[in-house]
A and B are shown apart, each in its own frame.
Chain A
Amino acid sequence: MMPTQTQLLLRTLLFWAVPLLLLALPLVTNAYVQFIANSIVIFALVALGFNFVIGNLGQLAFANTALFGLGAYGSAILVNSFGLPWIVSIPLAGVAGAAGGFLASAAALRGIRLYYLAIITLAFGELMRWLYVHGKSVTGGTDGMGLPAQSLFGFSLTDDRAKFYIFLVVAVLLFKATLNILRSRVGRSVMAVRENEVATASLGIPTARIIVFAFMWSGFVVGCAGALFALHTSYVFPESFGMLHLIVSFAMVLVGGLGSVIGAVLGAAALTILPEYLRSFPGMEELFFGLIVIAVLLALPDGLASLLRKLSPIFVERYYRE
């Protein structure tokens, strides 16, 4: 079932109503809940960007965490070494992520696919981590680097509630832009490459350019998320960008729903909240986390987003708009 015109209108209203309602969230949270909410916003962006390459473009590229780190370190370096205001570092961190995505796409363009692309991009991630550890003079090495207190137009950005507003605005902009892309000829081409690359080229679509773009957009989104993360934890160190982070963000994409935009939010929220509840089972947290992820994927191979689609056709994603 596809949504009707009224339902499409409702969906647009919902898209704007949810962040508007979330503006009131800091009024009802305590410091702990607010910190978790901020993490969810950032991880929703991480999952959105990751999903663009593995879900929409359909390439097994695992450079995501490396690009996230590039954004976080990029932001911290711009603030610390170049004295830029943090807010200005967000788009620049996005550009750094996009540049990293461009490098990753070079591998995909050389015809390296599937497992080979997976292992090359994993190696790229480890290489970046090596750079963070050994680039001591710039990155602070294993000790990492802190971010000095930030403010915006005279408002202090040290409180998690204040940070939340900025994070929310950046997230809404990036989600909106990603939806704009997916519902255009560009997004359809990205998915066409996933479905059948040979046939895509036969329609006059420059597949190589589409692949490069998808990697760069993914990198841009994740790079911006990295800049948010730098302020969120006000400290970046290499261990934040390791294999564990990669696996968790991969799980977020799958639990939310491969290729689904709303799934990125659901997956990020579910897998950020879950460990908090598992804290009451010390020693068993990782085990339960793994088991729950497996159970969800067995029960819902198309992720949590497929539940919403069953609930209402409002949540069926269409890749055009009239």
Chain B
Amino acid sequence: MSNLLEVEGLDVRFAGLHALRDVSLTLAPGQIMAVIGPNGAGKTTLFNAISGYVRPSSGQVRLRGHDVARLSPHAIAEHGIRRTFQNGGLFPALTVLENVLTGLHAQTEGSLVDVILGRSRALASERAMIAKARDLLSLMQMEHMADTRAGDLSGGQQRIVEIVRTVASDPPVLLLDEPAVGLSPLARDQMMDIINRMAGEKGVGILLIEHAVELVMAGADRIMVMAAGQHIAEGTPAEIREDRAVLEAYLGHA
């Protein structure tokens, strides 16, 4: 099976609002697909529906052939679809290392009783996870910040820690909701570099919501365009640049 993630006919209705209409997409391992569209197009709703925060009224979300739609958010995350949040999802009062460790929760072994009694089974697994978290931080040159409160980091550093935390468990699918928003041009490039490496080196399939058009054109393999809750176009960056429907969605009907 070459498709990692298949979304088919996803429909979301809120009271009086048809937020997502019959949206389908497929994502292959190592592929970066950008989701673009004007405000209110349904991009974040699409992410919420895939990751279980919004219950789709119809449609399927298949991860390696298994339907995960309508599972709870934590169950979907445990299956391997992990996401970040537009407004940042870090735990500010916890340290950088503790934040990354929360991303390894499901991988950490030892029953609740082992934990309460401080048995070596739980402690050994904890130590292994701490070592892994430190390795991940050093890949991002952030190991010296392991014991800093996450809330004390700069905005760019927070975004990077959130991504490290999200990929710590090696999820096959990653949904990134505007990871570069509010970043300096330099930090933006770094962020895009990190995203490319995850796709290229680890084969993670990535869905990326991003407003910065130059970033999307340079970094994404494919682009999907949404407007008014619908999938209106999809193609390579070059194809999308020439697409009339896209121009209309952004500029209005001429």
Contacts and interface: CB of A to CB of B under 8 A. Distances in A.
Contact of A195 (B94, B103, B169): B94
Interface in B54-84: 72-75, 77-78, 82-84
B139 interface: no
A195 B86 CA distance: 16
A189 B118 contact: no
B106 A176 contact: no
- Which are the 5 A-B pairs with shortest beta-carbon distances? A199-B89, A195-B91, A2-B147, A204-B77, A204-B78
Q: Which of A177, A181, A192, A202 lies at the interface centre, i.e. has the most chain B CB atoms within 10 A of its CB?
A: A202
Interface of A: 2, 176-177, 180-181, 184-186, 188-189, 191-192, 194-196, 198-207, 213, 318-322
B92 interface: yes
B94 A191 contact: yes
A180 B51 contact: no
Nearest to A185: B108
Given A2-B147, A191-B94, A201 B74 contact: yes
Contacts of A186: 112, 115
B94 A192 contact: yes
Contacts, number: 115
Contacts of A201: 72-74, 77
B123 A321 contact: yes
Q: Which of A185, A204, A322 lies at the interface centre, i.e. has the most chain B CB atoms within 10 A of its CB?
A: A204
Interface in B92-144: 92-95, 97-98, 101-106, 108, 110, 112, 115-118, 122-123, 126-127, 129-130
B127 A322 contact: yes
A180 B116 contact: yes
Nearest to A191: B94
Interface of B: 51, 53, 72-75, 77-78, 82-85, 89-95, 97-98, 101-106, 108, 110, 112, 115-118, 122-123, 126-127, 129-130, 147, 165-166, 169
B72 A203 contact: no
B116 A204 contact: no
B116 A318 contact: no
Nearest to B151: A195
A2 B105 CA distance: 23
